[in-house]
Amino acid sequence: MTEWAKRLLVGRPLRTTSLHRQLLPKRLALPVFCSDPISSVAYATEQIIMALTLGGLALLHLTGWVGVAIVGVLAVIVLSYRQTCYAYPNGGGAYVVARSNLGVNAGLVAASALLVDYVLTVAVSVAAGVDAITSYAPGLQPWSVALSVACIAVLTVVNLRGTRESGRGFAVPTYAFIATVYVMFLFAAWRLLTGERPRATSADFTIEPYFQPAGLVAIFLVLRAFASGCTALTGVEAVSNGVPAFRPPKSRNAANTLAVMGALSITMFSGITALALLTGVRMIDPDHPGRIAGAPADYVEPTALAQIGQAVFGGGILYALLQATTAAILIMAANTAYNGFPMLASILSADSFLSRHLHKRGDRLVFSNGILLLATAAAVLLVVFDANSSRLIQLYIIGVFVSFTLSQTGMVVHWQRAGGPRAPGVLPRQAINAVGAVVTAVVLVIVLTTKFLNGAWLVCLAMPALFLTMKGIRRHYDQVRVATRPGAAVDRPASGHAMVLVSRLSAPALQAVAYASVSRPAGLEAVHVCVDEEETRELREGWQRYAPDVPLTLIDSPYRSIVGPILDHIRKRRARHAGQLVTVYIVEYVIGRWWERALHNRMTARLRKRLLLVGGVTVTLVPYRLASGERRAAEPRPPRLATRLALLAGRTPPRDPGSD
């Protein structure tokens, strides 16, 4: 049943030779890798307004200038990462660039920043998408956490089905959101040309300042607004990480996709920011509530984009479509991380900085373990932060700009090594990356300064912790590699002794003795720990009848423990017979029902774990099928869903690849 459910959700396994069929054309690569930066325009302007209104309405007129600065930074980063797509066609993004040009430690800093950022991308995107839903239907607000976790579960299943399938699934919401936003721009332009100016529901509200906007405080608030608005830049690096997923020519297609994404993000962000100023949108920071005047008593603040959409469309079907597509793309923006995180984790795993399990592709040729790890971490984060997008955004973009800065600095070194400024075409590329490195470094300082006390300190702790974890994993793998390196000769045991553990006189115990005797050890004994007098007496009397040629060793256990006396017996034997290999045979019941696991094999598992730690000892499990295990083994394999549907339709069922 479990296998059938897995196939129903994930689909049939794909052959390794089918990997080339999973490569993405540009039209599918855009929603797969660029949904995060495109969707960020839905809340970036809102974050700018929230930060500026901490000083009341006095600084709100600077929203446009802050937006212009963010657009400039976005353009520089897009140009810079286009160079990375051509220079590193095997992907890896900031980690590979920094490791290759700045050293392993710099690469791990970039990797830790990206891994943290990817988890936050999922959490922030899903929380913001649920905010869009609750803005349209405020009655769902108490269920925000449950809705967020459910969205992550859906995203996880879709991504486990394969990159190409997820691209098809996310293409419609992404392109629908883009189209709806541009339709909103056309409606707004038409209304302005006809002499009608749209007004937001909050345009007439008065906001009392939390800080007096003068001198250094005003500068700080503007810088904080700039740092908050830089959320529009998140996810840009995902394309450079995923160059191998593109169809040939990979680098050119990735760079062109990045250029299209940049053009869409810049025009959409600029348009939304302009409409926010035009319609008079007011937003307050949820961490400083109670400062808004003129609002109804039951007023629930919608998102900035929702206010703009309602002002432009006046409600109705187009407004509902805007909210629906906004919610969809914000939730699906997490897909950028679902592609970037597993791929980066796989590269780190190949370099022995993360568990080797993360390097393996699953049934659908995706990095399944990385997808599940990302989903679990993001779900925990949403539960801890109560799916509050404003609180989560405060943790955001620190990792983004750490990786941006290291990547662009590494690219400057890369071009220097590629021939220096005198090589043809190198100087312009090096200049672009140098400007990118300086700009992103300045933004990083601003973000750290303005967001540190608002929660960014958690990221500043998480990144070093992840860095040290990866160093520790690499150290462990290096030690294992040295310890398992074959020497000049392998020490072979002088002889072997078989030891069968017997709890009572039973068919499984006698079967284990027979199994052990087949290996023809130098010595064979059955070992029983005496904790029950009646059971021990029955065993002693019956043993001479069923296995008289096998010595039975009885170990007294006055404190009724099992594991300790067996370990002591083995150690004493090892001390008397140095160089002799001891093989311990333990019966394990094969069961067919899940609830039977709690009734059997508990002591077997404990003994096996302890015995594996003893030198010169090997453990052999002797399976014994119970009735339920026999029935489970005899059950025919349930047909796949596709087979059932084909049979119902009267067609020839497709061949099951799992039968190869």
pLDDT of residue 166: 55
Measure the CA–CA gap between 341 and 159, rounded to whole angstroms: 12
Q: Is 437 in the same domain as 549?
A: no
The whole-number pLDDT of residue 658 equals 43
Q: Is residue 25 part of a domain?
A: yes
pLDDT per residue as tens digits for the range 44-56? 898 899 888 888 7
- pLDDT tens digits for 572-613? 988 888 778 899 999 988 887 777 777 777 888 888 889 988
- pLDDT of residue 512 exceeding 50: yes
In a domain, 281, yes or no: yes
Q: Is residue 27 part of a domain?
A: yes
Sheet holding 580-590, edge to edge: 552-556, 523-530, 495-501, 580-590, 617-625
Residues 307 and 388 in one domain: yes
**Count of domains for the chain:** 2
Would 653 be classed as within a structural domain? no
Assigned domain for 587 exists: yes
pLDDT higher than threshold 60 for residue 288: no
Distance of CA 605 to CAs 353, 562, 571, 581, Å? 30, 13, 20, 21
Domain end residue (candidates: 475, 504, 526): 475
* Whether residue 251 is found in the same domain as residue 330: yes
521 and 434 in one domain?
A: no
CATH number of the domain where residue 261 is located: 1.20.1740.10
Same domain, 77 and 205: yes
CATH number at residue 598: 3.40.50.620
- Residues 432, 540, single domain; the answer is no
Expressed as residue numbers, the domain containing 604 is 496-625
Residue 641 in domain: no
Output the DSSP codes for 540-609. Answer: HHHHHHH-TTS-EEEEE-TT--SHHHHHHHHHHHHHHSTTEEEEEEEEEEE-SSGGGGGTSSHHHHHHHH
Residues 350 and 445 in one domain: yes
Percent of the chain with pLDDT over 70: 84
**Tokens representing 376?**
């679990």
Instruction: Indicate if 379 and 510 belong to the same structural domain.
Output: no
Q: What is the spatial distance between Cα 104 and Cα 110, in angstroms, rounded to a whole number? A: 10
Q: Are residues 346 and 447 in the same domain?
A: yes
Tell me the mean pLDDT in the region 226-253.
83
| Same domain membership, residue 192 and residue 237 | yes
Interval 146-164: pLDDT, tens:
888 898 888 888 777 765 5
pLDDT of residue 603: 85
Asked if residue 603 is part of any domain, the answer here is: yes
Q: Round to whole Å and give the CA distance between 518 and 500.
A: 13
Do 425 and 553 belong to one domain?
no
Query: Are 339 and 380 contained in the same domain?
Result: yes
Q: How many whole angstroms separate alpha carbon 559 and alpha carbon 601?
A: 22
Whether 118 maps to a domain, the answer reads yes
